[in-house]
Structure 1
Amino acid sequence: MTRSIGDLRNCADVHLARYLDPDHRTPRAFHAYDGPGEDPDPLTALDMLAPVLLSVRLTYADILPMFAKTGHHRDLRTAMEAVLTDPACRNADFLTIDLDNPRGPWARVRHAFEASYPVHNIKVVKVSKILHRKRPKLVPIYDRELYRYYVGPPTDRWTAHQDLWPLLQADLRVHQEWLTQVTARHQPENAAELTLLRAADIVVWEHQVAPTSACTDSA
């Protein structure tokens, strides 16, 4: 059965309120992770370590090779920087871009994902979590729970992410109106902007890992 974020209307508010509550006894990562830092364009070592706040395992040993002059790590850093320096990517929206345009913003993102394939311990999950902070309207967060919800059991295939993006984009387009409304209701004060893309990620992730009584009539 095809699953949709529309199935989570009943529990979306509960999930967002829980995730965005900085005073919860077990706080989530939004107030620590989200926000591009002082400047959304440069890619710093601290930016590359930020996914740790989303329970990703990264250490200095994974990041230092990014600053070598050559090698797979350096190629990955160059590909990620290309997303941030391309003017077309700065204001691009995942919901409206053409995922198949070989010269469009998504081609840059896809190249960054693919540049991770030969890099030890840094694959698409981590690249997406690095880039989402810097381009939160363009780059969705990729993780096993989102994949599980839309596609099925997670796979270790490096290319598995390609199965998700068209499904996610089509679904978010269909439900853009109510997602925009629920995102606005939960826009935090004195914090990073909650984008529709991040709100959708939070709703699905919370639904998967911490369902509540509000989910009883949902998917």
Structure 2
Amino acid sequence: MTTTLRVGAAQVDFEEAKIWATEYLVGRPGASAYPAYDGYPGSDGDLIGPQDLLAVALLNVSNKPLKVYYGLQGQLELLNERLQSPNLKGSLRDASAATLEAIADLFDVLEEKPADNVKLTTLSKVLHRKRPDLLPLFDAKIRYCYTDCLGAPVPPKKKRSKRDYRLAWLEALQHDLDQQHAQWEEIAALAPDPKISTLRALDIIGWELGRRKN
């Protein structure tokens, strides 16, 4: 029986998804963002240190690394303040409404303390490494799956705030993690060292789906 894996409204046969993940995780040594991004040492602990800001370059987020670094540096104090919220706990799959709101509070830093060249794509790459089971990755490919493709669960809406969009996306993402948890665990287990979360596994497949527009 064929199993379909879904990210938003984009989908792929599960066996095909495992081939994509294997190629990304083990098939392109020296050319893939794994393990460079996932294994980058960064700072110890749950808070963001200056060295963590460099990790975004390992996912090819920006061709302006200095501007990105200084922009993130200016947001660092507020981000670390919000990372200490007691609601930022557990995994996204099991997150309560309060936890989703706390994640949205983190993303709100983008509007409260805006910085050139720092958007959700960039910020999410920094945050994910501090809470890999809880804080999701975002980019144009993931947006395609959840917003821009036919039947997407979070379609564009006029006058919807960025916060409301992000909350709706988090809920849709949570649904995909929960409904297909065993499949995401199997894909995550393909990573040799370092290990990755199911949330990272979903990002890998979502990126491929967005790239191929499946």
The reply to whether residue 145 of structure 1 matches residue 116 of structure 2 is no
| The 10-residue stretch of structure 1 (161-170 or 131-140) with the greater mean CA deviation from structure 2 | 161-170
C-alpha deviation, 1:87, in angstroms: 5.2
Structure 1: where are the runs of 5+ without partners?
A: 68-72, 212-218
The reply to whether residue 81 of structure 1 matches residue 80 of structure 2 is yes
C-alpha deviation, 1:80, in angstroms: 2.1
- SS of the residue corresponding to residue 194 of structure 1 reads coil
Aligned partners of 1:87 and 1:54: how far apart in 2?
A: 29
**Residues 40 and 5 from structure 1, CA distance in 2 versus in 1: closer, same or farther, beyond 3 angstroms?**
farther
C-alpha deviation, 1:173, in angstroms: 0.9
Equivalent positions of 1:86-101 (< 5 A) are: 86=85, 88-89=87-88, 91-98=89-96, 100-101=97-98
Amino acid aligned to 2:35 = H
- Counterpart of 1:119 in structure 2 is 115
C-alpha deviation, 1:94, in angstroms: 0.4
- Counterpart of 1:47 in structure 2 is 52
Amino acid aligned to 1:131 = L
Aligned partners of 1:110 and 1:88: how far apart in 2?
A: 11
**Residues 66 and 108 from structure 1, CA distance in 2 versus in 1: closer, same or farther, beyond 3 angstroms?**
same
- Counterpart of 2:197 in structure 1 is 195
Count, aligned residues: 194
Equivalent positions of 1:1-219 (< 5 A) are: 3-4=8-9, 7-21=12-26, 24=28, 27-35=31-39, 37=42, 39-57=44-62, 58-64=64-70, 73=74, 76-86=75-85, 88-89=87-88, 91-98=89-96, 100-101=97-98, 104=99, 106-117=100-111, 118-152=114-148, 159=162, 160-184=165-189, 186-188=190-192, 191-209=193-211, 219=214
Query: Is residue 188–residue 200 contact of structure 2 (8 Å, CA) maintained in 1?
Result: no
C-alpha deviation, 1:187, in angstroms: 3.1
C-alpha deviation, 1:14, in angstroms: 0.6
Identity %: 26
Structure 2: where are the runs of 5+ without partners?
A: 1-6, 150-154
- SS of the residue corresponding to residue 34 of structure 1 reads helix
Superposition RMSD in Å: 2.9
C-alpha deviation, 1:59, in angstroms: 2.4
- Relative to the length of structure 1, the TM-score reads 0.75
Aligned partners of 2:78 and 2:20: how far apart in 1?
A: 34
C-alpha deviation, 1:168, in angstroms: 1.3
C-alpha deviation, 1:204, in angstroms: 1.6
Amino acid aligned to 2:91 = D
C-alpha deviation, 1:26, in angstroms: 6.9
Aligned partners of 2:106 and 2:142: how far apart in 1?
A: 20
C-alpha deviation, 1:146, in angstroms: 0.9
- SS of the residue corresponding to residue 56 of structure 1 reads coil
Aligned partners of 2:131 and 2:122: how far apart in 1?
A: 14
Query: Is residue 94–residue 138 contact of structure 1 (8 Å, CA) maintained in 2?
Result: yes
